[in-house]
Amino acid sequence: MKGFLQGSATAIVTPFTADGVNFDAFGKMIDYQIANGTDALVVLGTTGEPATMTEEEKVAAMRFAVKYAKGRTKLIFGAGSNCTANAVEASRRAEVLGADGILAVTPYYNKCTQGGLITYYREICSAVQVPVIAYNVPGRTGVNILPETMARIAEIPNMAGIKEASGNMAQVMETARPIRGKCDLYSGEDALNLPILAAGGKAVISVVSNLAPKLVKQLASAVLKGDLAEANRLGDLLLPLSKACFAEVNPIPVKAGMKLLGFEAGDPRAPLTPLESEHLPPLREAMALCGLEVKA
């Protein structure tokens, strides 16, 4: 299916306290995104740290997002797993709770075959009515959706597209070619947002937009309108921020950045750790270059 998402989506962080999710801070972060034009929020994506959340916390986060933001922006809930049965169950639960769409990362650690990937996405899509986005991030999962595999996955009726974070632009182009007209291509790597959009991508699913949602939305809009001069200007502005946001594993830097903006983001959960001190000045500088007001 085509047309589910266009523009910019934010893979939103989950703010934690010592006792659980900080819903007051979560609401303020959602308001910040909506006020700055973000088209969709991805809750419980990699940036949201679902791997270290209890099932009860995940349900609470989804329920809060639906109650607080449903109708104001699209809500996409992360529901992938290295167990197909668990991914199906999580996807059904997300749909019941009110998701507009599902983001399903490839099975991690198990290293299934390409045929296993096709079966995995077919079973998830068959279990729900809402659109499903495949998420290809082999650097984290150890599994890569090859272009010929995505061509077959794209035939599934409610497969909305692929979030591409392989980091391999040649592969992205090879994936884009057979899925055109079937489902959409989304950028899942901030450093490649501009070229992926220029290659026919319809949206970005961004980490950096936690900090600079207006600029990321403007970048996406500029490319989609064909204004590549403006897109390059914005891309040049955002590139240092993207670099700073991945100086350590995501979401360590972006959570530090949210704190600098004055949000009570909390620290990442173990085994992730707070941002190392030498990476803080480049983050501050990149945020200032983007016109972001550092409050903390």
Q: Please say whether the dihedral angle defined by the alpha carbons of residues 253, 258, 261 and 264, taken in this order, is positive or negative.
A: negative
Nearest CA-CA partner of 226 in 258, 261, 206, 200: 200
Q: Is 58 a known active-site residue?
A: no
120 in a domain, yes or no? yes
Q: Write out the residue range of the structural domain in which residue 82 sits.
A: 7-212
Q: What does residue 200 show for φ and ψ, rounded to 5 degrees?
A: 115, 5
Return d(Cα 140, Cα 28) in angstroms, integer. 29
The domain tally of the chain equals: 1
Q: What is the pTM assigned to this prediction?
A: 0.97
Catalytic residue among 58, 74, 163, 202: 163
22 in a domain, yes or no? yes
54 in a domain, yes or no? yes
77 in a domain, yes or no? yes
On average, the pLDDT of the chain sits at 97
Catalytic residue among 120, 135, 186, 259: 135
Predicted confidence (pLDDT) per residue in 105-143, tens digit: 999 999 999 999 999 999 999 999 999 999 999 999 999
295 in a domain, yes or no? no
Question: In degrees to the nearest 10, what's the CA dihedral of 171, 175, 176, 179?
Answer: 180
Q: Which residues are 203's β-sheet partners?
A: 7, 186
104 in a domain, yes or no? yes
24 in a domain, yes or no? yes
Q: Is 255 a known active-site residue?
A: no
Predicted confidence (pLDDT) per residue in 220-233, tens digit: 999 999 999 999 99
Return d(Cα 268, Cα 49) in angstroms, integer. 8
Q: What does residue 128 show for φ and ψ, rounded to 5 degrees?
A: -135, 165
Return d(Cα 186, Cα 164) in angstroms, integer. 6
Query: Which segments within the chain are labelled E, that is strand?
Result: 7-11, 16-17, 20-21, 40-43, 74-78, 101-105, 132-136, 159-164, 184-187, 203-206
User: What is the distance of C-alpha 288 from the center of its chain?
Assistant: 24
Retrieve residue 292's tokens. 């972001």
Low-confidence ranges of the chain (pLDDT < 70): 296
* Domain CATH number, residue 23: 3.20.20.70
Return d(Cα 159, Cα 183) in angstroms, integer. 7
